[in-house]
Structure 1
Amino acid sequence: MLKFLGLATLFLLLAILAAIALAMVLIRLAGSEASRWHVDPALAASGREGGWTLRPEGGDAVGPRARAAPEALLRMLDEIALEEPRTRRLAGSPGEGRITYVTRSLLFGFPDYTTVAAVPHPDGGHTVLLDGRLRFGKSDLGVNRARAKRWMERLRTRLAREGTLAEPGPDGAR
Structure 2
Amino acid sequence: MGWKMGILWLLVVLVLLGMAYVRLAPSQVARWHVAPVGDANKDFKRGALRVVETGPDGLARFDAIARAAPRTQVLAGSVAEGMATYVTRTRMMGFPDYTTAAQDGDTLRIVARSRFGRSDLGVNRKRLEGWLNRLQAGG
Per the TM superposition, whether the score is higher than 0.5 is yes
CA contact (8 A) 2:62 2:135 kept: yes
Where do 1:64-143 residues align within 5 Å?
Answer: 65-66=53-54, 68-69=55-56, 72-120=57-105, 126-143=106-123
Shift of 1:9: 2.1
Shift of 1:81: 0.3
How large is the Cα RMSD of the aligned pairs? 1.8
> What is the number of equivalent residue pairs in this alignment?
138
Q: Which residue in the other structure is 1:20 paired with? A: 15
Identity of aligned residues (%): 40
CA contact (8 A) 2:45 2:121 kept: no
- Computing the radius of gyration from Cα coordinates, the structure with the larger value is 1
Shift of 1:22: 0.5
- Compared with structure 1, are the counterparts of its residues 154 and 47 closer, same or farther at alpha carbon in structure 2 (3 Å cutoff)? closer
Give the distance between the partners of 2:15 and 2:88, measured in 1 at CA: 21
Q: Which runs of 5+ in 1 are unaligned?
A: 56-62, 121-125, 160-174
- Equivalent residue of 2:76, what SS? strand
CA contact (8 A) 2:84 2:101 kept: yes
| TM-score of the two chains, using structure 1 as the length reference | 0.73
Runs of 4+ in 1 over 3 A off after TM superposition: 43-47
| TM-score of the two chains, using structure 2 as the length reference | 0.91
- Equivalent residue of 1:16, what SS? helix
Structure with more strand by fraction: 2
Give the distance between the partners of 2:37 and 2:67, measured in 1 at CA: 22
Q: Which runs of 5+ in 2 are unaligned?
A: none
Deviations 1:92-137, CA, capped at 9 Å, x for gaps? 11111111011111111111111001223xxxxx232111111111
Give the distance between the partners of 1:106 and 1:158, measured in 2 at CA: 27
Q: Which residue in the other structure is 1:166 paired with? A: none
1:33 aligned to 2:28? yes
